[in-house]
Amino acid sequence: MKRNLKTVLYGFVLLAVASCHGGNNTSSGNGGRRAVSISEDSVKIKPVYAKGFEVTYRDGYKLVDVHDPLNEEVAAAHFALVPRGGRVEDLPDGYRVVEVPVENVICMTTLQLSGFIKLDELDRVVGITSTRHLHNEAMNRRIEEGLTRKIGIEGNFDNEVIMSMDPDVIFISPFKRGGYDAIREVDIPLVPHFGYKELTPLGQAEWIKFIALFIGEEEKADRIFASIEEKYIALKNLAAEAKKRPVVFSGEIRGGVWYAVGGESFLAQLFRDAGADYFLKDDKRSGGVNLDFETVYARAHEAEYWRILNSFDGTYGYDVLRDSDPRYADFRAFKDKGVIYCNLREKPFYEDSPMAPELVLADFIKVFHPELLPDYTPVFYELLK
């Protein structure tokens, strides 16, 4: 039975890799919990893992409520998605009408863009804020041809450029303080996207359905997510068979501060699902944690693994790591060559991984428990050479 399970998982992973690098894997499966209910005529979105949005189906239109999944005090946003040319007589108070499917959108973050990439709907994206660490060939080609334009950075948007693109909606990330005051004047619906606040990989990935609601691709998004969900759960169950759970820590020291995340964070959940213990697993915080070197060393000097995500121009290795801070060489993970690394200059991490959590999970399992996935080739993270 175990051999059959592993054989199936290898197939899952290979298909996922193909999806990540070339197309969309929309095959559905029957593993794990279903995050939607399906009628004979259409898919009705009902998020299970994502905590930041809800959908109510009315006669001929949909109500979408968006809120911060980690802070109830943040004001919620409400949208009524109405078919183009349609009219709604009994619209509840406080809902902004958006005619769907939207044709032109602006994405403020790569997380939002990842949903359009996975759905193969980049033709709808007419504006983005930055191309830093953007690897997607189709989007880079659109930028070169002027089909997608850069609109500036938070707090310094070019409203004339925005208006010239005639966007139906602008997807925003509310954590950018004060960055959207200027564009509120253009009277284009600003749609909050709280995917970055989700604390589970499947919760973040389920925001593909949020994007799908606005572009009329709910059925496609459901198939894609069902495949992601099935693979992720199968891999998580496989990692649960591991007899040992190594300890892993994360981050680097910058300007005297070691930036890490708490034990209830998205990253900590990934490590747990991959069969490892995060060095701050008992910390109840879900966001960033600022530590000094001594505190990290006291807790992590015997940890087997060390995860690093950065952007390095050149060949990153243990010598580079030691040169940046000689104290790094005192960690067991450094001595035993247990550094797990992803270079943002080389890997499409930000644009692909939000909608491919099963690949990130497989990468970590490959490191922590290589015997469970002996034939798997990492996509984003791998042991530093």
Paired residues of 342 in beta bridges: 309
Given a cut of 70, is residue 188 above it in pLDDT? Answer: yes
User: Cα separation of 147 and 143, whole Å?
Assistant: 6
Hey, what amino acid is at 138? Answer: A
User: Cα separation of 380 and 14, whole Å?
Assistant: 14
Q: What is the mean pLDDT of residues 48-74?
A: 95
User: What band does 175 get if pLDDT is binned at 50, 70 and 90?
Assistant: low
Provide the strand spans (E) within 29-185.
36-38, 43-45, 53-58, 61-66, 77-83, 96-100, 105-107, 125-128, 149-150, 152-153, 156-157, 169-172
- Structure tokens that stand for 161 in this block: 């450029």
Residue 123: the pLDDT is 98
Q: Report pLDDT digits (tens) over 257-299.
A: 999 999 999 999 999 999 999 999 999 999 999 999 999 999 9
Given a cut of 70, is residue 41 above it in pLDDT? Answer: no
Given a cut of 50, is residue 19 above it in pLDDT? Answer: no
Residue 156: the pLDDT is 72
User: Is residue 253 within 8 Å of residue 283, measured between CB atoms?
Assistant: no
Residue 9: the pLDDT is 56
Q: What is the mean pLDDT of residues 134-159?
A: 89
Q: Report pLDDT digits (tens) over 191-217.
A: 999 999 999 999 999 999 999 999 999
On average, the pLDDT of the chain sits at 89
pTM comes to 0.89
Half-sphere exposure for 345 (CA within 13 Å, toward CB): 7
Q: Report pLDDT digits (tens) over 62-121.
A: 999 999 999 988 889 999 999 998 888 889 999 999 999 999 999 999 999 999 999 999
Given a cut of 80, is residue 246 above it in pLDDT? Answer: yes
Given a cut of 80, is residue 21 above it in pLDDT? Answer: no
User: Cα separation of 149 and 363, whole Å?
Assistant: 34
Half-sphere exposure for 92 (CA within 13 Å, toward CB): 14
CA 196 to chain centre: 7
Residue 11: the pLDDT is 57
Given a cut of 70, is residue 251 above it in pLDDT? Answer: yes
Radius of gyration (Cα) for the chain, nearest Å?
Answer: 22
